[in-house]
Amino acid sequence: MSRIVIHEVGLRDGLQMEARVVPTETKLRWLERLVASGVDIVQVGSFVHPTKVPQMADTDALFPQVPRGKALLSALVLNEKGLERGEKCGVDLYCMGVSASETHSRKNTGMGVADATARIIAMAKQALAAGKEVQVSVQSAFGCGFEGHVPPENALRIARAFVEAGLRSLSLADTAGHAVPGQVESLFGAVLALAPGLEATAHFHDTYGLGIANCYAALRAGVTALESSVSGLGGCPFTAVAGGNVCTEDLVHALQRGGVRPDIALAPIVAVAREVASYFGRDMPGKIYRTGPIGAPEGGGGAHP
């Protein structure tokens, strides 16, 4: 567990829920600090229609301006148009996915699961052929805010289609926040058993307070990458009960307490979390941005716990 990949998704999955649009220059300041923290991947935004998600309207303009550092810069793409836009502005890693819930799939993309799966596989192959990294995900893998229980086979069917298409970087997303640790270990174990050499990423929402517990369950199952959001921002706007993501600074602090990823500096992440709370004028779900990490001066951000 010494090298768990941390994928910061706050400026996409976090901000997409916010009605107050963050100016480009503010996003750039936050992105610069997040990249400087030493997290492995930073999600800049998504290529969606600006009238549907105004918060993402400047994604194309952001990419060329973000200081690269050592972090990969990722983006969410939903369709071929988004892929074309990403190719023009320098995306390192494309994230694209299919919902295991028929209802969520139609609300999120306007397509049924089968059509969405075929479309995403074709897009993923196109991006790989262009020399880009691709992560394909199964959304609502552990439950659906509309349908409730999602049978594990629904998620496995999509994951199996990805693997059979030659895709090796897979994510399971708990879009509705319904997952519990035992379920997480079981489903990730089944996915990783589909083929040798798969890379697995976990994306949990903390809607019902089990986000970090589920992260540890995913690690026990063999997951090597975790997605999280600075200050705990976010949630899916196309689910019945939206809850924030696992909080990046809280997750990193927890990992570092166990001796994992001491190379990530908490101070820049905490600074962004505090600015996020100030900008939106409310307390955020995260804890460490308020308390400071253990071992730091009271209320301090601290580089390490």
Length of the chain: 305
Round to the nearest angstrom and report the end-to-end CA distance of the chain: 18
- CB-CB neighbours of 81 under 10 Å: 12
Instruction: For residue 277, give every residue at least 6 positions away whose Cβ sits within 8 Å of its Cβ, in sequence order, or none.
Output: 231, 283, 284, 289
Distance in angstroms (rounded) separating the CA atoms of residues 199 and 105: 24
Distance in angstroms (rounded) separating the CA atoms of residues 45 and 177: 21
Take residue 210 and report the two structure tokens written for it. 């089990």
Contact 46, 10 (CB under 8 A): no
List, in sequence order, every residue forming a beta bridge with 47; answer none if it has no partner: 77
Residues designated catalytic: 236
CA dihedral sign, ordered 93, 244, 183, 262: positive
